[in-house]
Amino acid sequence: MNYKEIVDYIEEIPKFTSKNPLDHTKNLLHRLGDPQNERKVIHVAGTNGKGSVCAYLDSMLRMGGYKVGLFTSPHLVKINERFKINGEMISDDVFVWAFDRVKEIIDEAMEEGLDHPSYFETLFLMCMVIFQDADVEYVILETGLGGRLDATNTVDKPLACIITSISLDHVEYLGNTIGEIAGEKAGIIKPQVPVIYDGHNQEAAKVIRARAEELGSPSYAMTEKMYRMVENTSRGIDFMFRCGYEKNEPEEVELFIPYIAAYQMMNASLAFFTMEMLRKDHGISREKLIQGLARTRWEGRMETILAGVIVDGAHNADGVKRFMETACHFGKKYPITLLFSAVCDKDYQEMIHTVCENIRPAGVVATQIWGNRVVPAEELAQLFRENGCDNVIGEPDVGKAFEEACAMKGDGMLFCVGSLYLVGEIKAYLAQKRDKEKEYD
């Protein structure tokens, strides 16, 4: 199969198979030579912030001169984005090679009666052979959904486990309470392996701490008392982080992150503390870690794509709450315009109500994401009107909607929010626009 045929095949997997137990993944990995246990792995789980933490870790390790493999999800535009080596997504040729290698053992296993691996399981198998072939020194692994039963949880002994902010999301799979969801996320903790976690939610922290104690794993809670903001501008955030954990006089270090959302201080703290704790392993100086943190690039998460234009993949209640904190901060100085879309299996009615109640945007453009989870643009626009917004446009075409929103923002700020799929379509539109402009140059 060629690249396009392989991508089409992978996208069809959910139609003919479902999630498998971890023993199934381990069986397939064993047939590949158990590549998951050959690298130094940092494993990251959580509801919100996983990708950002992974990006910070990746950037700091690369600043220290290491070759790093990064596996994240979902992708925004192209599936190759899920596999990065030293900050660059893999080529189509590498993608094809990895799939062929994995498909060979899938076919072999199925002949022996095993089920076909799931969509995410297949991609995880590919990531392991990609990073093995590239001979990366470190692997940063982001869980897909949950943690305990996630395909990435087949790594026997990672260097460290990180658990980010936990909130109610995917309750149909993970549980109906914060405690139940925390239990699933805490499933990545391994015996005697340190776990660093977001400790601001006491219900989640209690579950994570108990699991760590049960396994004899050192645990370190990051709380908002451990950092303080110095300045938040359109270029990013300067903040002080208390580096010394549980010391009488904690040492403070000044950090900068190129993001405008205050919650990124917690994500950066989780990553920075982890790297400080692992210093004996990697040997990277604090100065280099600080530089790496400052040079982090993570697409689609409060990312400035044009002057005054920010895209953010907030798509659940906690993500929207955190987006609003940022929008309200800048709304004191600039009028706020929104470009919004959502998929049908999210509580978009509540999202819109919450946004309108707290931000009172000067203008809104509602658009729609094509596929079987579409919510019509005009339906979203009407919800904004019903929640008190007067200047509202419904435009189904994402490209046209983006241009309308940019025109509407004037000298203010435009936030494009509601779904990572929206972020992906905006990025695809801008890439096509740049390509066309190049043709006329």
Distance set, CA 307 to CA 258, 404, 424, 438 (Å): 14, 16, 18, 21
Stretch 292-297: mean pLDDT, rounded?
95
Tokens representing 360 are: 């009172």
In whole angstroms, give the CA distance from residue 140 to residue 69: 6
Contact assessment for residue 240 and residue 254, using Cβ atoms and an 8 Å cutoff: yes
Residue 420 pLDDT class (50, 70, 90 cuts) = confident
Please tell me the least confidently modeled range out of 170-174, 260-264, 322-326, 423-427. Answer: 170-174
Residues 371, 377, 382, 385, CA torsion sign: positive
pTM of the model: 0.86
In the chain, where are the structural domains located? 3-224+262-284, 303-440
3-224+262-284: CATH superfamily = Mur-like, catalytic domain (3.40.1190.10)
Cβ atoms 206, 186 nearer than 8 A: no
Whether residue 252 is predicted with pLDDT greater than 90 in this model: the reply is no
Q: What is the pLDDT of residue 221?
A: 95
The pLDDT-based confidence of 299 (bands split at 50, 70, 90) is: confident
Q: Per-residue pLDDT tens for 5-48?
A: 999 999 999 888 888 999 999 999 999 999 999 999 999 999 88
Average pLDDT of span 253-262 = 92
With bands split at pLDDT 50, 70 and 90, how would you rate the model's confidence at 174?
low
Q: What is the mean pLDDT of the chain?
A: 91
Report the share of the chain in percent with pLDDT over 90. Answer: 69
pLDDT value of position 189: 97
Q: How confident is the model at residue 307 (pLDDT cuts 50, 70, 90)?
A: confident
Per-residue pLDDT band for 347 (boundaries 50, 70, 90) equals: confident
Six-digit token string for 75: 């992708």
At 177-210, the pLDDT tens digits run 889 899 999 999 999 999 999 999 999 999 999 9
pLDDT at 246: 53
CA 148 to chain centre: 18
One fold for 3-224+262-284 and 303-440: no
Q: Looking at residue 372, what is its pLDDT?
A: 75
Residue 300's pLDDT is what? 79
User: How many angstroms separate the CA atoms of 233 and 226, rounded?
Assistant: 21
CA distance 272 to 325: 23
At residue 358 the predicted structure's pLDDT band, cuts being 50, 70 and 90, is confident
Taking alpha carbons only, the member of 226, 221, 223, 298 closest to residue 255 is 226
pLDDT for residue 173:
47
According to the CATH classification, is domain 303-440 in 3.40.50.970?
no
Question: Would residue 216 be called left, alpha or beta, if left means φ above 0 and alpha means ψ between -120 and 50 degrees?
Answer: left
